[in-house]
Amino acid sequence: MLVISSREFRQNQKKYFERADKGEHIIVQRGKDKAYALTPVSEDDMYFNAEMVDKIRQSILEVRRGEVQKVSTSKEISDLLGL
């Protein structure tokens, strides 16, 4: 794992993006109490890809048709989750 300053990152972005693309863990330190991980994003990491949008649309239709199960107690939640 490599820890660099935000200034170093700004000055050499291409270099650090390429290293992250090769699988190296890069941490960009910003000030004393903030840090960020530089990680490539793949199609699987995208929250709203086409498959997820289809699932959301299907769920909305189910709600409109009343195909829902309401839970309000911890026991009902446990039962729903099979715990």
The token pair at 46 is 């995208």
31 shares its domain with 48: no
CA dihedral 43, 47, 49, 54 (to 10 degrees): 150
Q: Are residues 47 and 31 in the same domain?
A: no
Same domain, 24 and 51: no
Looking at residue 10, its pLDDT comes to 97
The reported pLDDT for the residue numbered 45 is 75
Q: In whole angstroms, what is the distance from residue 2 CA to residue 25 CA?
A: 6
pLDDT of res. 28:
97
Are the C-beta atoms of residues 12 and 26 closer than 8 Å to each other?
A: no
Tokens 């990491």 sit on residue = 45
Q: Are residues 53 and 30 in the same domain?
A: no
Residue 61, domain extent: 43-81
Q: Are residues 47 and 70 in the same domain?
A: yes
Residue by residue, pLDDT tens for the chain (83 residues) are: 999 999 999 999 999 999 999 999 999 999 989 999 999 988 777 777 788 889 999 999 999 999 998 899 999 999 988 89
Q: How many domains does the chain have?
A: 2
CATH classification of the domain holding 13: 3.40.1620
Q: What is the pLDDT of residue 16?
A: 97
> 29 with 50, same domain?
no
